[in-house]
Amino acid sequence: MSADTDDKSDWKVVSQFFIVPLALVAVLVSVFFGLQVLRSSHPDPRATLQHLKGPSRFLLPWAGDPKRWQSGYDLSLAVRGGGGEGGAALAPEMAAAFREAGADPPLRRYLALALGRSGDPRAAPALREGMRDPDGETRLYCAWGLMRIADRTFVPDLRAAVGDRDEAVRTMAVFALGELDDRDGAAVLEAALRDGSMSVRWNAALSLARLGNGSGESVLIGVLEGKETATDDKVNASARLNAVRGLALLRDDAARAALRRAAESGAGDEVSATARLALDSIDAKAPRALP
């Protein structure tokens, strides 16, 4: 039951604020579900970590060992579940395993996930090192892990990641800066509004709105009114809902006007309904939970 609760908590923030691009969806699916059939019988984090460090580590050092990938995946699940000794107590050992994984991208991805879920600041240095990994997916999960740990010492690394060559990493970085309330990094987010990726621009605008900064307001209005779109209709629907939430945080005249247009569009969809709630919330000058 604890695992299910933690998992829902992990995704709650993402579903509310993080507009997930198609490429990132593929990454998340492959990491979280790709090895589901290989789950082992090691529910305890320490037992799973010891299995990971066992004799199998020497079998295929140049190609990667699927048994170790299974153990890494199991460890990320065990840490999430909080069973046994718990991820925080094992953070130094998991960090060592992450470093020892070397050029084994699948294993490093699972260990980065486990380190982030540990919530232990001692995991942050290893994740910071992982931000320089040649594998984009590993960098993505290291950025996510730093956000989860919320050690502000490493906020500069997330700012630097806004310039990463990988779109998914840049998207996660701008989302993380908003999540960590990085007001000193607003200039970095403002620069990201000119990114070639729509996903990065959208999330930068949302993060700025969460900081009370209206620099990305035109981007949010463009998303809401369908001027900024993705190829996937589900992504567009999520983007429009998040644009409503961002504009509701800004509460200025331009935001009101855009929300009113959406509310009066007559579409009768969730976006229109949410826009009406946002206007009610602004007019009442009191916070109201949006769906």
So what's the pLDDT on residue 129? 95
Could you say which DSSP state residue 16 is in?
A: H
So what's the pLDDT on residue 260? 94
Percent of the chain with pLDDT over 90: 47
Which pLDDT band holds residue 82 (cuts at 50, 70, 90)?
very low
**pLDDT at residue 244 above 50?**
yes
Identify the weakest region by mean pLDDT among 36-50, 146-160, 173-187, 226-240: 36-50
Kindly state the average pLDDT of the residues 267-288. 79
Which pLDDT band holds residue 179 (cuts at 50, 70, 90)?
very high
46/39: higher pLDDT: 46
CA-CA distance, 283 to 279, in Å (whole number)?
A: 6
CATH class of 1-183: mainly alpha
Which pLDDT band holds residue 233 (cuts at 50, 70, 90)?
confident
CA-CA distance, 279 to 277, in Å (whole number)?
A: 5
Average pLDDT, the chain: 80
So what's the pLDDT on residue 183? 93
Kindly state the average pLDDT of the residues 13-37. 51
Q: Which letter, b or e, does each residue of 164-188 get, where b requires 16 or more Cβ atoms within 10 Å of its Cβ?
A: bebbbbbbbbbbbbbbbebeebbeb
**Chain segment 131-171, per-residue pLDDT in tens:** 999 999 999 999 999 999 998 899 999 999 999 999 999 99
Task: For 164-216, give the DSSP string.
Answer: -SSHHHHHHHHHHHHHTT-GGGHHHHHHHTT-S-HHHHHHHHHHHHHTT-GGG
CA-CA distance, 74 to 94, in Å (whole number)?
A: 13
Q: Which letter, b or e, does each residue of 254-282 get, where b requires 16 or more Cβ atoms within 10 Å of its Cβ?
A: ebbebbeebbeeeeeeebbbbbbbbbebb
User: For residue 28, how many C-alpha atoms fall within 13 Å in the half-sphere facing its CB?
Assistant: 13
Cβ-based neighbours of 32, under 8 Å, separated by 6 or more: none
User: Where does residue 120 rank: exposed (0-12), middle (13-18), buried (19+ CB within 10 A)?
Assistant: buried
Closest CA to 86 of 53, 37, 48: 48
CA-CA distance, 38 to 66, in Å (whole number)?
A: 9
First to last CA, the chain: 25
What are the domain boundaries of the chain?
1-183, 192-291
pTM listed for this prediction: 0.75
**pLDDT at residue 60 above 90?**
no
Percent of the chain with pLDDT over 70: 69
